Structure 1
Amino acid sequence: MFKKLPGDQVSGLVSTTPDTAVVFRPAVVQTPAVVTIAIFVGRLIAGLVRLVWRHPVAVALAVAPVAVAWLYGWRVALVAATAPVSVVVPWALFDRDSFNVWIGWRLLAWWRLVWVYRRHWQPVMIVSGLGRHLHGRDYLPRILHVRCTSWADVVTVKMLAGQSVKDWADRLDHLAHGFGATSCRVAVARAGRLLVTFPRRDPLAVPLPAVPVPDRASVGPVEVGIREDGRPYRLALHGTHVLVAGATGAGKGSFLWSVVRGLIPAVLAGLVEIWALDPKLMELSFGRSIFGDRYAADPAACADLLDDAVKVMQERAGRFAGVRRSHIPTVEDPFVLVIVDEVAFLTAYQSDRALKQRISAALATLTTQGRAVGVGVMAALQDPRKEVMSIRNLFPDKIALRLDESEQVDMVLGDGARDRGALADLISSDPQQGAGIAYVRLESSPDPIRVRAAYVSDDDIRRMAALFAGVGEAA
């Protein structure tokens, strides 16, 4: 009646009903104890080797006192443990930076790995859907390395086969809250490996004073603030175009004036000309003496100034054709930076249709042809929608300050930027906490970085303008 299967025991089977389901138990193979012990010992040795390889300092600090006590007695071990402490404690007190580089961050990384990440890894992975529990076994991504910086933990993770970066980007909130962080960001280290960043504190929470005016003239990257990792943030202007988008009060003026402040020595040396379009008559009017006759507020005057910039660009293109492919700033051919505040007022909200088309055409011409001949555009706007700013994709470098909607983040920084951690819609609206904070996506990298621009006060602007007023009087 029943077919005998390999390994099944069919003796004693009784079925009185033809439709009764019969369950066969698979054969159980008894593993010899020596094999089980060997597997356990092998895994133990591999784990110890991996622990020593990844955390040599922490292991040495834990093992050295025990080894000395075993070999030479507890008194010698006590002296041996006290001597390094007498050196390490003053080192940590008087030179904290070097202590953290060599010891502090390594110990913190080991502690965070053991107490935070390995402790909560399995439940967070399973609940968030990044891990799988199948047939009684957990399939989880692996933690390869934890590195601590002054503000964040950077966890290197090996993904499961078949996973994608989007799987992780869609679960940033799960990861952040699962490991007790306020936010989370994901970046690709290499194929199959991710860098998952969990901030421990916000290094950009305190507003920054204005960056000092540089000592030498340069059109190179201009320091406008700091990055989240504590390094200075330098914005490239020569050879690119920059779009700054942010809601009212987000701090667009901090970027505009920090750029002007960083270029002052080059302007005084004749290597840079700053042309300003200020349709609001509020932001750039403080520095009229800096811009000279290259300042416009009326829409018609703004259109004329843009047409002049196009003429300069075309004249240079005619001279450079067949001679050079890139621009080198000189007094004869300075770098021209066209700053447009509230560009949407000129391109979308302008009631004069002919004037609007003229301005849009000039901006499109400058952003498509101006880079190679030393004419750059830096534009600021509040609403990044395509119907408001149709040429936003012509700006290689983009800056997203606080935005009103999550969808606007990808409008400014490109598709997938918010999934990679650019949470510009969550920046605080408090001027002290959020003004000047932005996410930046550079032409050379798809991963956004978080920065804060320095605040240039009205007094700072007046002192900057006074430098040019003195030059004008001397002339």
Structure 2
Amino acid sequence: MVAAWLVVSVLLSWARGEPLLAWVSSGLAAPLALAGWAWWFPAGYERVVAGPSRRRGWRRYVRRNWTGLAEVCGWSRVLRDRVVAGSRKPSGQSVPRLRSVRAKGSTVTLVIRARAGQTLDQLEAGVPGLAATLDALSWRCTAHSGSTSTLLVELVMHEALLQPRDGTVPLGPTSAEPGQLLPLGRRDVGGVWALTVAGRHTLVAGCSGAGKGSVLWGLVAGLAPLVPSDTVRLWGIDLKHGVELRMGRALFATVADTGPDALAVLTALLDVAERRGQAMAGQVRAHTPRPGDPLHVLVIDELADLIAYADRETRMEAARLLARLLTKGRALGVVVAAFVQDPRKDVVTMRNLFTQRVALRLLSDQETAMVLGDGAARTAPAHRISPTAPGTAWVVDDEGNTDRVRADYWPDPVIRDLAARYPCRASMTPATPDPPDEGDERETSGSDGPRLHSVGTNEPTPPPRRPRSPRAPRARAAAAATSAEGSAAR
């Protein structure tokens, strides 16, 4: 652009006999002003100049090249020559109709009407090719307004999740209802990524360094404002010496960092679910959290340490207790949020009991399918997330739609401030079992609340067996001994 204006300036100055410098300076004024604007105020330049220009270019390109795009995506059909009124009509192509194309933010949205004889499945099969042709970063497609012949395609053209963002301590409840739509970060199509915890068990999977801590503390921060009023009660299990969860220890009613303590926590939560279920039977079908009758949320950092890598007795009992909790606790207001590095079936045996899953960066497409379901490796490729973008994840909503998101990062000082601002009032401390003659499980009242005792089962300990008295000799043996003595005497 600048070179072209220099050529024009030379020609105009020669033709009109005016100084060349005047034409050159006037032509460079506008580009230099825009360059300075972009340098000193990039956000304003992007909002006013660069963004609208880029979105206008996307729309223009799709409209002008729609026939060619439909052909390379495999959506077109060649029509044979037909004879109409005695003349041969040349062959052509039948392509889906582009009803509309819109661009907002970093997303281009297309509404495509299938051609005659074409199904939505055939249209969906060509969307990856369309995304690759337009150099889109990600894509998602759904039926438009429930139609069986119109497809809504969203293409993310610009990376909106490149820069990390730190989390901030919330000043009050983050949602109208406890545990509903907790803000964790951003979506690549724009807007806030929110996750619902109440009434759902959540599994977050990601390899080492994928950013599981960002999701964990974002979830805890969303629930934290309701912790002091005991509307939400947080429980923690962290068998990696409590390094992660003890950073915000004051937020939790208890944090178990050993196997026996973890079993005590699981047993206590099962007891809560049992008592609450008996109280709700015939009254209501779903628990509503309120002060004094809270939503119990169990946060497990590195699930595999509890159910796969611990000693045999601990992992078998933990797997049994956790499976029961996942099966019966959801409607009773006792939910689990577990985080794991290895999502394989031999590690996470109860993977299908988690009702919602988040896939951070994984190591293979098989792991992506294990976490998000069959076919997810194509629509939500978590194994292709960059290692330089921790906290980036793929999620699948209740309707099967995929979404690429990035959780906010939570530095240690912010976690400490969060714990200091919203401490838990109902503190509980796991303890070792009592002696057998005093009972297996006992609660003592005090300022710290009831103490949890790690127990293997809920059955009472049987009384010790008395030592067996010596067995009397059998009659046959006695007779043999008598005959032997008589022979010796003879």
Is 1:402 paired with 2:348?
no
Aligned amino acid, residue 333 of structure 2: G
Is 1:179 paired with 2:134?
yes
Check whether the contact 1:116–1:179 (CA below 8 A) recurs between aligned residues.
no
Q: Equivalent residue for 1:278?
A: 238
CA distance in 1, matches of 2:67, 2:344: 41
Normalising by structure 2, report the TM-score: 0.69
Flag the 1:470–1:164 CA change in 2: closer, same or farther, 3 A: closer
Is 1:386 paired with 2:345?
yes
Q: Equivalent residue for 2:97?
A: 142
CA distance in 2, matches of 1:179, 1:469: 50
Check whether the contact 2:173–2:223 (CA below 8 A) recurs between aligned residues.
no
Q: 1:123 aligns with which of 34, 59, 68?
A: 68
After TM superposition, give the deviation of residue 110 of structure 1 in Å.
Answer: 6.5
Flag the 1:429–1:168 CA change in 2: closer, same or farther, 3 A: farther
Normalising by structure 1, report the TM-score: 0.71
Alignment of 1:236-385 (within 5 A): 236-281=196-241, 282-292=243-253, 294-352=254-312, 354-385=313-344
Higher helix share: 1
Q: 2:149 aligns with which of 184, 189, 192?
A: 192
Aligned amino acid, residue 72 of structure 2: V
Q: Equivalent residue for 1:151?
A: 106
Q: Secondary structure at the match of 2:161?
A: coil
Aligned amino acid, residue 138 of structure 2: S
CA distance in 2, matches of 1:111, 1:464: 45
After TM superposition, give the deviation of residue 228 of structure 1 in Å.
Answer: 2.4
Check whether the contact 2:120–2:150 (CA below 8 A) recurs between aligned residues.
no
Q: Deviations over 1:68-89 (max 9, x none)?
A: xxxxxxxxxxxxxxxxxxxxxx
CA distance in 1, matches of 2:125, 2:309: 36
Q: 1:423 aligns with which of 377, 381, 384?
A: 381
After TM superposition, give the deviation of residue 323 of structure 1 in Å.
Answer: 1.6
CA distance in 2, matches of 1:280, 1:164: 51
Q: Equivalent residue for 2:58?
A: 112
CA distance in 2, matches of 1:123, 1:239: 47
How large is the RMSD of aligned CA atoms in angstroms? 2.9
Q: Secondary structure at the match of 2:65?
A: helix
CA distance in 2, matches of 1:332, 1:471: 11
Check whether the contact 1:344–1:388 (CA below 8 A) recurs between aligned residues.
yes
Greater alpha carbon shift after TM alignment, 128-137 vs 341-350: 128-137
CA distance in 1, matches of 2:123, 2:276: 48
CA distance in 2, matches of 1:169, 1:408: 23
Q: Deviations over 1:73-129 (max 9, x none)?
A: xxxxxxxxxxxxxxxxxxxx9x989x99xxx97x9777534x311333333332332
CA distance in 1, matches of 2:347, 2:424: 40
Flag the 1:371–1:145 CA change in 2: closer, same or farther, 3 A: same
Aligned amino acid, residue 129 of structure 1: G
Alignment of 1:201-212 (within 5 A): 201-212=158-169
CA distance in 2, matches of 1:405, 1:471: 43
Q: Which runs of 5+ in 2 are unaligned?
A: 1-40, 81-90, 428-446, 449-490
CA distance in 1, matches of 2:311, 2:126: 45
CA distance in 1, matches of 2:249, 2:169: 20
Flag the 1:441–1:182 CA change in 2: closer, same or farther, 3 A: closer
Q: Secondary structure at the match of 2:167?
A: coil
Instruction: Report percent identity of matched pairs.
Output: 33
After TM superposition, give the deviation of residue 332 of structure 1 in Å.
Answer: 2.7
Q: Equivalent residue for 1:59?
A: none
Check whether the contact 1:222–1:259 (CA below 8 A) recurs between aligned residues.
yes
After TM superposition, give the deviation of residue 271 of structure 1 in Å.
Answer: 0.9
Aligned amino acid, residue 441 of structure 1: V
After TM superposition, give the deviation of residue 471 of structure 1 in Å.
Answer: 7.2
Aligned amino acid, residue 323 of structure 1: Q
- Residue correspondences, number: 369
After TM superposition, give the deviation of residue 290 of structure 1 in Å.
Answer: 2.0
Flag the 1:406–1:470 CA change in 2: closer, same or farther, 3 A: closer
CA distance in 2, matches of 1:134, 1:390: 54
Q: Equivalent residue for 1:438?
A: 393
Flag the 1:392–1:237 CA change in 2: closer, same or farther, 3 A: same
CA distance in 1, matches of 2:425, 2:138: 49
Q: Secondary structure at the match of 1:438?
A: strand
Check whether the contact 2:156–2:188 (CA below 8 A) recurs between aligned residues.
no
Q: Equivalent residue for 2:172?
A: 215
Decide which structure has the larger Cα Rg and report it: 2
Q: Secondary structure at the match of 2:314?
A: helix
Q: Equivalent residue for 1:412?
A: 371
Q: Secondary structure at the match of 1:270?
A: coil
Flag the 1:215–1:152 CA change in 2: closer, same or farther, 3 A: same
Q: Equivalent residue for 1:8?
A: none
Check whether the contact 1:211–1:223 (CA below 8 A) recurs between aligned residues.
no
Q: Secondary structure at the match of 1:371?
A: coil
CA distance in 2, matches of 1:405, 1:192: 34
After TM superposition, give the deviation of residue 472 of structure 1 in Å.
Answer: 9.8
Is 1:465 paired with 2:419?
yes
Q: Equivalent residue for 2:444?
A: none
Flag the 1:167–1:405 CA change in 2: closer, same or farther, 3 A: farther
After TM superposition, give the deviation of residue 459 of structure 1 in Å.
Answer: 0.9
CA distance in 2, matches of 1:108, 1:398: 35
Check whether the contact 1:287–1:462 (CA below 8 A) recurs between aligned residues.
yes
Check whether the contact 1:175–1:184 (CA below 8 A) recurs between aligned residues.
no
CA distance in 2, matches of 1:317, 1:288: 29
CA distance in 1, matches of 2:382, 2:165: 19
Aligned amino acid, residue 130 of structure 1: W
Aligned amino acid, residue 326 of structure 1: A
Flag the 1:470–1:438 CA change in 2: closer, same or farther, 3 A: closer
After TM superposition, give the deviation of residue 331 of structure 1 in Å.
Answer: 2.7
Check whether the contact 2:251–2:424 (CA below 8 A) recurs between aligned residues.
no
Q: Secondary structure at the match of 1:268?
A: coil
Aligned amino acid, residue 158 of structure 1: R
CA distance in 2, matches of 1:446, 1:327: 26
After TM superposition, give the deviation of residue 466 of structure 1 in Å.
Answer: 2.9
CA distance in 2, matches of 1:424, 1:246: 9
